[in-house]
Structure 1
């Protein structure tokens, strides 16, 4: 409380006392006990009212004890079930969660993890992937500024993500792994990695790289075999030992038929081998009989050119060629799409030919674009340009209808640089991205597509696309999302197929351990996205003839269904609208592969190193009970007394109102009783 406020309170007391004395002492001239009582009651009333007007503020302290957290994270992946450790994991989890001494000392919080981290103590051991890297990153965000020792029930075998030992360095908490799994080393042959392109071209040969790994002390011989159906298409003898524990095989196979071709790679098991599941891998290749050729035309050097090539070429069905404007004019018919980067007057002959032959194009503009030239040759838009440049951030149009677009968190992307001005379109257009200027969202297109006279065209009003790809990598840990976005745009522009009211996005085949997501968009008769339609997918397994139906769930600007839990096999499907007679059919293959069954032992070395680096301790499942005693005795995990200081104004103190009412009521009743009223 400040000195000024204290002076006001003293003054209020003096004024209240003087007023009370004036009314009952000075006027009545009496010294009876009743007058003294009335003076006191009036003083209390006046002083309380004046205090309310001054409204002093008081500091209030509340003390509380904060217990440290104890994080119990249990591996919910299928590998524990395969290693026969699922029941051990459940028993250990129950013992820790029900330990009353631990609950008295810690706030016990339980998580399960597979590909994602979930706040749950319910475990089924059915997740098909283990991502400890992501688990530690998410726990770091949750328990950044707390004391939170972490118990990890796992076999330590990770199937996706970066090495978790590196991400755990940012997790500033002691880690106590409880190691689940067999620690005895058995002789084991396995296909550690199989690298193969997703696409191949008819009558060509596609490369395959296989890495064979041997764990054991004795020299062994075996054979690596690749079969297609009942036919062996490749084989090679293997000789491995303790000193030569791996071998890399590089070979090619011919692409003889169009469509999805399924193969099986296998290392013939040893006689006493315990785990033979990791001896084989199924893989598939989609053979196509043509390749989409895309020309990137530019007269300047810019990082965007390399970004476009990497993103487009990430799909092996597409080939990218860099050309000068005069080089392309003579071979224009060889390309399905032409990307024109910051065109200028040197593009005049090329533009004339593109317009004459009605060829699809994508124009990317920027500060080096000659807008006088482009306004003269463009048939569908003009740009009211100035000599100034500006930065434009992207803002996704959720109502874009030409193809399915996932939101890549575009608002986090850095701005593109472009000439300042406004565009004016002479024909209907559809914006994929709008411009955001200085944080203000506008309806001015940044990336737009146009369909006119059977030709498709796109315009991007800005350079530095390479920064978007880099930001996408920072957001997601891979370039895949951004490359898919560019790939869908290129696929749309390279095709002249008529727009359908129901579009379905899917792959021709999936590996058994990956997420299988099928997306769809439905449009009304005006080709506006309809988010009120109910879509259903009907699935039929060709091998078993088993059928099933599932609804598609609305997510953003498309409908999705997750089919990750269906068994491997060939499937026909039909996506249909419930209210109209509109349907799209297709087929896909799920290649059998369970990555969680590739492990024979727990990764003891890595888990022990993880514990050492974090100042924790590793335990085997046989003696995990000791962990409770260690945690209870560890002086690093003590409850902390904290205080909360709050400033409370007197007006919030409700008892003061009661005192005013009580003093007035007493004064009135006593005066009434004595006949003074």
Structure 2
């Protein structure tokens, strides 16, 4: 308690003593023991009231025991069911939950995981994939400041994600893997991996690479073949031995029919082979009969040119040619022309684009001749200052021309553009706004516009290569940026009339991935409409079974995420409730379950995980040994901690009760003695 507060309390004591003495002793005619009792009661009530007004604070320290946390993470993927380990795993979890020794020693926390970590024990063993690396990363974030040994009940087979046995070097907790499944190495041949592009062009050949593996010691002969329907399109004999356990086969297949072409790769199973699911793998290729040809024109050398080329050609359905203005002869073969930092040498090119009604993308920057550009067209004008400025991007969430998502533009480096105001003289839609320093503006950085049968997009800044590089630093992939730029290219290159309802889906999906279909719905003024009620109806072409579900609004699109659909051919219809508008499409689901491709538990990786985290591997028949290890480990001790609270006297309810009781007693005693 502070010295000043102590002074106030002493003062309150003296004041209460003076008031009580003055009323019942100094003014009393006869000083009796009753007067002293009344004075005492008055002193208590006045002193207590003054204490409430002063409201001193006290420190209250409490002690408690904090037990270490024991994390139990259970593999909830379908591989557990495939390995026939559902009952053993469920039994293990039940025994851990009821073990009194663990309950007394640890704070138990249970999780389940497959492709993601879930804070629940709803064990269905139907997860489509397993990502142990992501599970460890999530647990590390949750328990980064605590002592939380982790029991990991899994077969160790990870179907996607970074190698968890190496990632475990940074995991701060001790991991005790419990190996689920058969650890005996059985003779098995399988298709380890099949690599093929999603797209091919009509009347061309597309490459296929297949990696075949064998676990066994004997020399064996088998056959690898690829079929399309009832027709065999490729076959090759394969031999393995104890020394030669893998085989890579590269071949090409013809693309003679447009559309989605389905194939089945088969490695003929060995006699007595236990797991033959991993001997077949379905794959598909979409054969297209046209390619988007893009022409990039620039008279300067700039890193943007390489970044644009890489981004455009990340999709095999597009190709790009880079040329200078004096090398251009014909434009008819191109669906889109990109004009990079135009100058007066682009004059003839602009005239050709106007006469041919060609769509084009204009990118301006520090080398752009704005005197020429303001003169050659009247859609937009830039103030002439001959100074450069750095512009940070800001995504326009109300952009409605076509479906785009913010890929993290706020974290992207600035583009270099000409300083000054921009005046747009034609209807347009702003994709990105300019931000100067920390000041957001309403000036456009990237726009799209459409008129007179021509689509145009204009970027008022150079430095796209920095954005693509930043995307890789953020996500370890160029995919987000390339997808964003690809959608912009697709819109600008297309002459298709704008529709109020558009759908986006893949032509085929593999059975182990999530199936997502998106739709964008606009008002009659072509503004994105968030009030729409969209439904999607899915129909299996073979069984004629249908299902209808609503599409959910997410950002600037309506999404439907479909699950539990069996392999087959499907068609869908997206419709808007209350409107006579609908769009249809189709897709194919290929039969593939990655969780069934593995026959044994991966003991090697789980052992590495335990070693790197200073833990220990256990097997399903070592329950008691695991419990003993955890209980006796001196690293997991309960810790006594203290907690200090600052308590105000006004929060002490008993003081108010004392005041009421003393005043009441004083009143009754005075009444009883005829003093009132």
Same fold (TM over 0.5): yes
Aligned to 1:59: 59
Q: Are 2:293 and 2:333, in contact at CA under 8 Å, matched by a contact in 1? A: yes
Aligned to 1:196: 196
Aligned to 1:596: 595
Aligned to 1:524: 523
Aligned to 2:295: 295
Structure 1, residues 506-556: CA drift from partner, whole Å, max 9, x if none?
111112212110111122222222223222222222222333322222222
Q: Partners in 2 of 1:565 and 1:111 — Cα distance? A: 23
Deviation (angstroms), 1:313: 1.6
Equivalent residue runs for 1:243-642 within 5 Å: 243-327=243-327, 329-384=328-383, 386=385, 387=387, 389-397=389-397, 399-437=398-436, 442-642=441-641
Aligned to 1:228: 228
Q: Are 2:184 and 2:600, in contact at CA under 8 Å, matched by a contact in 1? A: yes
Sort the Cα spacing of 1:357 and 1:260 in 2 relative to 1 into closer, same or farther, 3 A.
same
Q: Partners in 1 of 2:561 and 2:658 — Cα distance? A: 66
Q: Partners in 2 of 1:420 and 1:11 — Cα distance? A: 71
Equivalent residue runs for 1:10-21 within 5 Å: 10-21=10-21
Q: Partners in 2 of 1:171 and 1:355 — Cα distance? A: 61
Q: Partners in 2 of 1:107 and 1:444 — Cα distance? A: 56
Over the residues paired in the alignment, what is the CA RMSD in angstroms? 2.4
Higher alpha-carbon deviation: 258-267 or 385-394? 385-394
SS at match of 1:333: coil
Deviation (angstroms), 1:382: 2.2
Structure 2 residue ranges without an equivalent (≥5):
none
Q: Are 2:68 and 2:105, in contact at CA under 8 Å, matched by a contact in 1? A: yes
Deviation (angstroms), 1:419: 4.0
Q: Partners in 2 of 1:140 and 1:667 — Cα distance? A: 64
User: Is 1:111 the equivalent of 2:111?
Assistant: yes
SS at match of 2:496: coil
Higher alpha-carbon deviation: 606-615 or 445-454? 445-454
Deviation (angstroms), 1:415: 4.4
SS at match of 1:491: helix
Q: Are 2:391 and 2:434, in contact at CA under 8 Å, matched by a contact in 1? A: no
Equivalent residue runs for 1:133-148 within 5 Å: 133-148=133-148
Deviation (angstroms), 1:641: 2.0
Deviation (angstroms), 1:624: 3.1
Sort the Cα spacing of 1:426 and 1:633 in 2 relative to 1 into closer, same or farther, 3 A.
same
Aligned to 2:654: 655
Q: Partners in 1 of 2:442 and 2:364 — Cα distance? A: 18
Higher alpha-carbon deviation: 565-574 or 367-376? 367-376
The count of aligned residue pairs is 675
Aligned to 2:239: 239
Deviation (angstroms), 1:427: 1.4
Q: Are 1:396 and 1:410, in contact at CA under 8 Å, matched by a contact in 2? A: no
Sort the Cα spacing of 1:7 and 1:376 in 2 relative to 1 into closer, same or farther, 3 A.
farther
Higher alpha-carbon deviation: 86-95 or 543-552? 543-552
SS at match of 1:177: strand
Aligned to 1:675: 674
Q: Partners in 1 of 2:17 and 2:422 — Cα distance? A: 78
Sort the Cα spacing of 1:464 and 1:5 in 2 relative to 1 into closer, same or farther, 3 A.
farther
Q: Are 1:222 and 1:238, in contact at CA under 8 Å, matched by a contact in 2? A: yes
Q: Partners in 1 of 2:391 and 2:130 — Cα distance? A: 41
Structure 1 residue ranges without an equivalent (≥5):
none
For normalisation by structure 1, the TM-score amounts to 0.93
SS at match of 1:514: coil
Deviation (angstroms), 1:286: 1.0
For normalisation by structure 2, the TM-score amounts to 0.93
SS at match of 2:147: coil
SS at match of 1:272: coil
Deviation (angstroms), 1:611: 1.0
